[in-house]
Amino acid sequence: MDAIFSFLQQHLEAVYIVILSIFLGVEVISRVPSVLHTPLMSGANAIHGVVIIGAIIVMGEAEADNYLALVLGFLAVILGTINVVGGFVVTDRMLEMFKSKKTK
């Protein structure tokens, strides 16, 4: 219990962010035409690629002789970047098609 309390105190801002973000996420998505489900999922997929920032921090803080951290961190940076870049590009490709038919 103590652990939870002191954690809450230390991370009060973060806890607020989490709670508000939950409601925001629900609010933002609530009315989407089913046509957009796939691109939206893909876009959200790209956004959770922010995890790359954690990977960069891990990589950038790894000591030069800690090979496990170096290798895993390196792998994490690669995978995270694939998630971000691939995610946004795929979403853009999907949406490009929507646009081309709209201008018709």
Partner 1 sequence: MLPLIYLIGSVTFIIGLKMLSNPATARKGNAIAAGGMTLAILGTIFLYRHHGQGLHNYGWIMAGLLIGGVVGLVSARRVKMTAMPEMVSLFNGMGGACAALISIVEFEYMTAVIFTGAPVRMQLVIILAGMVIGAVSFAGSVIAWGKLNGRIKDISFKGQHIFNLVILAVILLLAVVVTAALPAVTVILFVVILLLSLLYGICFVLPIGGADMPVVISLLNSFTGVAAACGGFLYNNPVMLTGGILVGSAGTILTILMCKAMNRSLKNVLIGSFGSPKAAGGSREQGAYKEITLSDTAVIMAYARKVMIVPGYGLAVAQAQHACHELETLLEARGVEVKYAIHPVAGRMPGHMNVLLAEADVPYEKLLEMEQANGQFNTTDVVLVLGANDVVNPAAKTDPASPIYGMPILDVENARSVIVNKRSMKPGYAGIENDLFFQPKTSMLFGDAKQVLQQLVAEIVNSL
CB of 66 to partner 1, least distance (A): 8
| Helix, coil or strand: residue 31 | coil
* Binding residues for partner 1 restricted to 31-50, rule: CB under 8 A: 31-50
- Least Å distance between CB 14 and partner 1? 6
Footprint of partner 1 on residues 13-32 (CB under 8 A)? Answer: 13-14, 17-18, 21-26, 28-32
Please state, in angstroms and rounded to a whole number, the distance separating the CA atoms of residues 100 and 92. Answer: 12
Residues 64-93 interacting with partner 1 (rule: CB under 8 A):
64, 66, 68-70, 72-93
Contact 26, 34 (CB under 8 A): no
- Nearest distance from residue 71's CB to partner 1, in Å? 9
For residue 82, what are its two tokens? Answer: 């694939």
Q: How many CB atoms lie within 10 A of CB 90?
A: 15
Question: Tokens 């920032």 label which residue?
Answer: 53
x/- contact string, 50-69, with partner 1 (CB under 8 A)?
xxxxxxxxxxxxx-x-x-xx
- Number of shown-chain residues binding partner 1 (CB under 8 A): 89
Q: Shortest gap between Cβ of 6 and partner 1 (angstroms)?
A: 5
Nearest residue to 80 (alpha-carbon basis) of 104, 48, 102, 103: 48
